[in-house]
Amino acid sequence: MELKQKYIRDSGYDLDDDFTDFLHKVDPVLAYRIGKYIEDHVREVPDNPLRSHVLGGVVMHENKPVTFALELVKQKGLLVSLTNLIFISMDEYLDLINLNCYIKSNESSRQPITDNKRSILAI
């Protein structure tokens, strides 16, 4: 009796060998968290076949922040290609934030800042 293949959702990314090799070398739970974070939060990348984009990201693993840099390329008419992934220091991650080159994880849930002067004065 032959089993039918279950449905596998297409992620919409092309994965290069360096990217997948990195994920195979790390703890499987951490690899899953990084992969899920990328899938949930990486937005549209502008087409540019001559230049790669580097984005910083952070996930929590065993109650510690794990920072990483993701390299990706987007060519017109093709899927986003995830080309490389490396661990970076927190200082390097903060540098990427200052350059606005990081994965923005809470864009959709960000609430506008309200004026709280009244509550501050009432205290």
By DSSP bridging, strand 13-15 and strand 53-61 are unpaired
CB 87 within 8 A of CB 31: no
pLDDT at residue 87 is higher than 70: yes
Tokens of 64: 């510690």
Domain residue spans of the chain:
13-104
- CA–CA dist 84, 66 (Å, integer): 16
pLDDT digits (tens, 9 = 90+) for 46-64: 777 778 889 999 999 999 9
Out of 11-25, 39-53, 87-101, give the one with best mean pLDDT.
Answer: 87-101
pLDDT at residue 37 is higher than 70: yes
Q: Is 101 helix (H, G, I), strand (E, B) or coil?
A: coil
In CATH, the number for domain 13-104 is 3.30.2310
CB 54 within 8 A of CB 71: yes
CB 53 within 8 A of CB 73: yes
